[in-house]
Amino acid sequence: MARSKAIKKQVKHLLGIQNLSVLEAKEILKESQNFIKLNRSGSKKLDVLRGKTQINLFFEPSTRTQSSFDLAGKRLGADVMSMNIVNSAIKKGETLMDTAMTLNAMHPDLIVVRHQDSGAPNLLSQKVNCAVINAGDGTREHPTQALLDALTIINSKGKIEGLRIAICGDIKHSRVARSNIYLMNMLGAEVNVIAPKTLMPDSINQLGVKSFTSMKKGLESCDIVMMLRLQNERMQGSFLPSKREYYEYFGLTPDKLKYASKDALIMHPGPMNRGVEIDTKLADDINVSLVKEQVELGVAVRMACLKLYCK
């Protein structure tokens, strides 16, 4: 508790894993463990954030992440207000800043923001007095996703340090990939990224990963195989030839999984494109898939973040 307070004064916003110290990351993961038990119990309600106001400000639709933050806040006793802003017609920057100023004047304690532009939460955090939690910004970061992935790995494998983790798919456009690369590296794992050339960033090796264009080579000796969602909009145009071809070369199948370690486990941030990036049976196989655990622990991780970052 003494350490929590110390962190709260230093780190006001959760904008990305890149801004996080190992100590801070570990504290969030440790705090999350308590909430796992609470969420599995018959009475899922605390007064930790009673009297606090949490605003969920979503400029992109997101059933999963928004629900997770919504329940996390309510279970901690916060007053939660969700705002879904579709800003097709409006100039984006203006909306974000005017909305930020307006909401800030209402004295929220936490703003959870998802925005289609990379860096929007950082900009927001400079304009408001409360803590800003990044729930995904453009192709930049999705820190709570990486944290819940780390928690899931720790609770399944007992540790992260020393593991070899493959991240496969559209590395170029994925904020989930970026946040996970930072966090897994920070926590002592070795990270392989696997993607077709058109979906692999040029400067990827500067992030301290090994890059592969072949699943066979990239999955070798991996303990964790993280598949990414293939955005449908990438399928049109020059990035990819066809869904079928993508599945053939980069879709995770029981056969390809054999390239990894014997006891390798599968992860996916959801929602899954079954038959595109992952075989549908594999996705549902509770012996190898951690997808359910990821969602479950996601609520716990968000509760920890809301508690630790609330001013």
**Comparison of 188 and 271: residue with beta carbon closer to a second copy:** 271
Structure token pair of residue 204: 């990827």
**Comparison of 150 and 191: residue with beta carbon closer to a second copy:** 150
Structure token pair of residue 120: 């929007």
**Comparison of 78 and 260: residue with beta carbon closer to a second copy:** 78
For 200-222, b where at least 16 C-beta lie within 10 A, e where not — what string?
bbeebeebebebbeebeebbeeb
Residue with tokens 């390798």: 264
Contact between residue 78 and residue 54 where contact means Cβ atoms under 8 Å apart: yes
Write down the least CB distance from residue 58 to a second copy, Å.
Answer: 13
Write down the least CB distance from residue 50 to a second copy, Å.
Answer: 6
**Comparison of 200 and 295: residue with beta carbon closer to a second copy:** 295
CA distance 173 to 177: 8
Write down the least CB distance from residue 67 to a second copy, Å.
Answer: 6
Write down the least CB distance from residue 134 to a second copy, Å.
Answer: 21
**Comparison of 54 and 192: residue with beta carbon closer to a second copy:** 54
CA distance 87 to 69: 22
Q: In 3D, which of 107, 7, 113, 98 has the Cα closest to residue 59?
A: 113
Chain residues binding a second copy by CB under 8 A are 39-40, 42-45, 50-53, 63-64, 67-68, 70-71, 74-75, 79, 81, 83, 85, 94, 98-99, 101-107, 270-272, 274, 291-293, 295-296, 298-299
Write down the least CB distance from residue 93 to a second copy, Å.
Answer: 12
